[in-house]
Amino acid sequence: MTPTVVAASARVRLEHLRRLMIPAGIVQFGRGDSPDLQSGTCLDDNIRAWLVAIQALARSDAPAFTREIGDRALAFVVGAQRDDGWFHNMADKDGHHLDVVGSEDSIGRTIWVVGTATRCSTVPEWRDAAIGLLERTLPIIEELRVIHARAYALLGMSAALAPEAAWPLAPAAPALPSPLRGRLKEVFLNVADSLLAVHRANATTDWPWWSDTLTWGNARLPESLIRSAIATGDKKFEKAGMAAFEFLASVTQSETMFVPVGNDGWYRKGGHRPIYDQQPIEACGMIDLWHGAYKLTGDAQYLDRARTTYEWFHGNNTEGLAVANAETGGCCDGVLRGELNKNQGAESTLSYDHATMMIAAAANYTS
């Protein structure tokens, strides 16, 4: 099958995301291209939906309903925050919380988007809400212990302190107020140093990684150090981040095709490298990583490699199958051996929508 590649100038398509939207927020899972209401809602998907809305409204062709998606997603996020700064994650279809406190990963992703929104959202009310969320969340950030959660938090803090470390989103607001900015910078540097310390403690010449296993969301780890390097100019973050980035690229992306580490087991050093189940979240993260490396180095080949990753969604994958629907913005949940998981859930759809706008906006880098 010949891959169908969507041009970078393609119009933003969020129809399937809108289909997943109910009064309580974004529904987690799909049954085919219909929402599975019984799967409920969660912080993870609503914070991603808010980010996609922020990205879309930075363009001139955002669908008319984009603001509604962002408002509902933001309402879920605000309502999920507890009095102590932590968040609930899981909720039912009516928005009633089902857990005491959410996973650290969901909270790290929330900090990622909140930090980005404080400076890059074009909606003043969203920026104000983001600053409030950040102020209430700041005291707990250093308590995060899960490595991916800290990486996501770094992405958000780097964007809040230095928007040029975010995506190709122009700053829409001036620097944060000085008391908040000073506290945030201290936490940011502490978390960045801690992530670097784990990398130094575990990396080897042939496996420059944080552990002996590549699992999920791999690209976010080197991306967090690369964007920290952009925000600070500190070479120690650049050196470790680029080493991990080049290693991950050597494992998952040849010159012609992106093949993520599959969810059917993880890739342990010296062990079997799983191919299936390939997840859209991995392609989205890798695209962001290629662009982060470009922003750090100015090497245009990284933009070409990002476009190759993006082609994974449209058939340039091991099975030659189109994973995403360019007309609706919907995306299947994974690539299996010889077939697709045809359910179009929120995580997969939001990964595709995010990736599409990243590819489109990055065209401005070289224009």
Model pLDDT, residue 366: 54
Model pLDDT, residue 5: 45
Mean of the pLDDT values across residues 188-211? 98
* Contact yes or no for 112/44 (Cβ under 8 A): no
Task: Determine which of 33-47, 154-168, 280-294 has the lowest per-residue pLDDT on average.
Answer: 154-168
Which CATH number is 159's domain given?
A: 1.50.10.10
Model pLDDT, residue 10: 60
Confidence of residue 165 (pLDDT cuts 50, 70, 90): confident
- In a domain? residue 203: yes
Residue 292 has pLDDT above 50, yes or no: yes
- In a domain? residue 149: yes
- In a domain? residue 4: no
Structure tokens at 238: 């650049």
Model pLDDT, residue 2: 39
Q: Which residue has the tokens 């500190």?
A: 234
> What does each C-alpha distance from 84 to 75, 97, 141, 277 come to in angstroms?
18, 16, 12, 37
**Which carries the bigger pLDDT value, residue 247 or residue 61?**
247
Cα 292 vs. chain centroid, distance in angstroms? 12
Mean of the pLDDT values across residues 270-274? 95
Neighbours of 43 (CB within 10 A): 27
Reported as a single tens digit per residue, the pLDDT across 309-366 is 999 999 999 999 999 999 999 999 999 999 999 999 999 999 999 999 999 887 766 5
Number of independent structural domains in the chain: 1
Confidence of residue 117 (pLDDT cuts 50, 70, 90): very high
Instruction: Give residue 138's domain range.
Output: 15-365
- Mean pLDDT across the chain, nearest whole number? 94
Mean of the pLDDT values across residues 303-314? 96
- In a domain? residue 291: yes
Model pLDDT, residue 6: 46
- In a domain? residue 1: no
Q: Name which of 130, 2, 106, 143 is nearest 54 in CA terms.
A: 130
Mean of the pLDDT values across residues 172-186? 95
Amino acid at 150: R
* Contact yes or no for 249/305 (Cβ under 8 A): yes
Q: How far is Cα 203 from Cα 269, in angstroms, rounded to an integer?
A: 11
Reported as a single tens digit per residue, the pLDDT across 122-133 is 999 999 999 999
Residue 104 has pLDDT above 70, yes or no: yes
Model pLDDT, residue 169: 80
Decide: helix, strand or coil at residue 340: strand
Model pLDDT, residue 365: 63
Using a 10 angstrom Cβ sphere, with 0-12 exposed, 13-18 middle and 19 or more buried, the burial of residue 9 is exposed
